Chain A
Amino acid sequence: MNGSIAASPENPILLSRVAESAYWAGRYLERAEGMARLIKSHSELVIDLPRAGGLGWEPLLAVVGTELGPEYDLHTEEAVVDHLAHNHGNPGSICTAIEGVHYNLRVTRSVMPIEAAELIIELHTIANNDGRPANDRRTRRQWLTNIMRSCQTLSAILNDTMTHDDAFSFFTIGRQLERADLTTRVLDVHAGVLTGRPTDALAPYTGLCWAATLRSVSMLQAFRRRGVSASPTATLEFLLNDNNCPRTVRSCIDEASRWLLELPQNHEAITACAAVGSFLEDADVEELAIGDLHGFADRLEVAISEIHQKIHTTWFRPATTAVLS
């Protein structure tokens, strides 16, 4: 067998296992932040809406595709929030996500800047606060804000100090895919519930609800700056296809593709990204706003997870054992 590939200063060797951890560190970091924002904006919406609107907390559970475990008696606000924020047994909770960040960044220590270490510990400490502060409306907002701020600071530090090498690519791709995924799920559940057949009681508040949808993915401000009214079609088009705002599905996928281009053997993953791109392009938002948004979002989610699959088989668990020359 002739030699193998050599490392170069621009192209340091990255173990598949470490790449996988960098990718998951990105995903978990984004998940923790996204979940915190989601709970926060939903809390605000619930406060804004009249009780009669019948808006409960179940939609939030649907977003993360989880159900309350037997340890919770009722679908109360406190139970749902506790499950989504503090429950270590829930793979989609903020705590679990931060545990995931902590673990994966430990694995990737060798490729992560030392400055991040302190923040990770801090984030971990906030997340594991014994008091379950998210459950109480009085402390919830502050705790969620702290989580979001710490996540953002950590992202910023990693962005600013990490060498833009393969590890950084995987980290960024993980973040972008998680973000695209979250925006899609929010659309699926949050907006889907509202656009399909809004209950009579909620009808007067659809504007509020759309605003909440945008807020939950941190895009309300950006959207308003466009000066368009918050019609379902305009909002949908914006959430899916806007290519300036960093949290729309399109922006996330474009950004992921951009970083995939930096990696070797990226053909399959790039193709999967392109498939999501054309899927978005072909979306008829007029139709979707009154039609099968749920089915659309499902298909979009599947298309996004296809990118994940390709990344997984190409770099994390390559089937081939051939030595590259």
Chain B
Amino acid sequence: MSRFAVTHTTTYRYQSTVSSSYGQACLLPRSSPEQSVISAALTVQPQPAHMTTRVDAFGNLVSYIEVREPHQLLEVTATSEVDIVRPQIQFLPAVQESLAEARRKLVELEAVERVEAARFLTASSRVPLDDQVRNYALASIVEDRPVFDFIRNLTERINSDFTFDSSATTVTSTIADLFERGGGVCQDFAHLAVGCLRSAGLPARYVSGYLETFPPAGQPKLIGADVSHAWAAVLIPGAGWVNCDPTNNQFADDRYVTTAWGRDYDDVTPVKGVIYSNGGMTQLSVSVDVHRIVPDQQQPQ
């Protein structure tokens, strides 16, 4: 088990004074079978006139924020502590069944699970199931090979075919942009993975969260130097949702903290909204700190 303290601060600096700001944040971590949330809080500066947090259609925590105090700096900070225990999925028998079998077993799911799965099966606004995506997926699809091999192969291919290049894409980039530029960031990789998994007939989610990172050898870990992360999760009947990370070419383990999931980025946008001002530039900065802590009640072994 791992326990993490996560601090995620989003800061907007405005050139001209903003009279009011209305937005929503999807920054508080959700609970799942692999993750228990010990504490979580969202703070906003200046003090919001109104703030409420609700559970959205996917079970994520979404906060509505209304700030009406004139400001030139808006700071949204989410802090949380979570415990994570993830199974080693390669040892689950279900993932060793064939892709065809996994797909077939979807129809045998309980009604509620089946309905939940259906929403992640089709194209969504940021994940088209077009020829480009289908053809890319085809190279990994072998119907009678274990579904685990399919997922691993797909993850590997995305990782090697595309370079990690934060200058290649933006938050609004499409999968087509990723293909065109040959590079992108975790968001783009995750979208492509989700698209390929869906075009193979498997339900797939886009997951937002964090990954514990380590400083280069011999250097101290710097506060706030982490980043928010995104990956894909695919439903394998009998094994549950399997999280795979094409950006780092690995399956998610205890170092992955989940914030939210949805059909794609648009369902889990960290912060979005509108401001009222007389124009001018906005400067955005994000600082993330994922800090491993030793739980009080647990003795180090």
Q: Which residues of A contact B (CB under 8 A)?
A: 321
Contacts and interface: CB of A to CB of B under 8 A. Distances in A.
B96 interface: no
Interface in B48-69: 68
Contacts of A321: 19-20, 68
Interface string B13-29: 00000011000000000
Interface of B: 19-20, 68
3 contacts: A321-B19, A321-B20, A321-B68
A322 to B, nearest CB: 10
A321 B68 CA distance: 9
B48 to A, nearest CB: 14
Nearest to A322: B68
Nearest to B49: A1
Contacts of B20: 321
Nearest to A321: B68
A142 to B, nearest CB: 49
A321 B67 CA distance: 12
Contacts of B19: 321
Give 3 closest A-B pairs by Cβ, nearest first.
Answer: A321-B68, A321-B20, A321-B19
A321 B20 CA distance: 10
A133 to B, nearest CB: 44
Nearest to A319: B19
Nearest to A1: B49
A116 to B, nearest CB: 35
A167 B263 CA distance: 50
A313 to B, nearest CB: 15
A285 to B, nearest CB: 44
B49 to A, nearest CB: 9
A321 B19 CA distance: 9
Nearest to B19: A321
Contacts of B68: 321
Nearest to B68: A321
A21 B20 CA distance: 26
A178 to B, nearest CB: 29
A321 B66 CA distance: 14
A13 B20 CA distance: 25
A321 B49 CA distance: 13
A136 to B, nearest CB: 48
A317 to B, nearest CB: 12
A293 to B, nearest CB: 39
A144 B19 CA distance: 48
B52 to A, nearest CB: 16
Nearest to B20: A321
B56 to A, nearest CB: 27
A64 B260 CA distance: 62
A320 to B, nearest CB: 10
B285 to A, nearest CB: 28
B184 to A, nearest CB: 41
A62 B228 CA distance: 63
B39 to A, nearest CB: 31
B47 to A, nearest CB: 15
Nearest to B276: A321
A321 B276 CA distance: 12
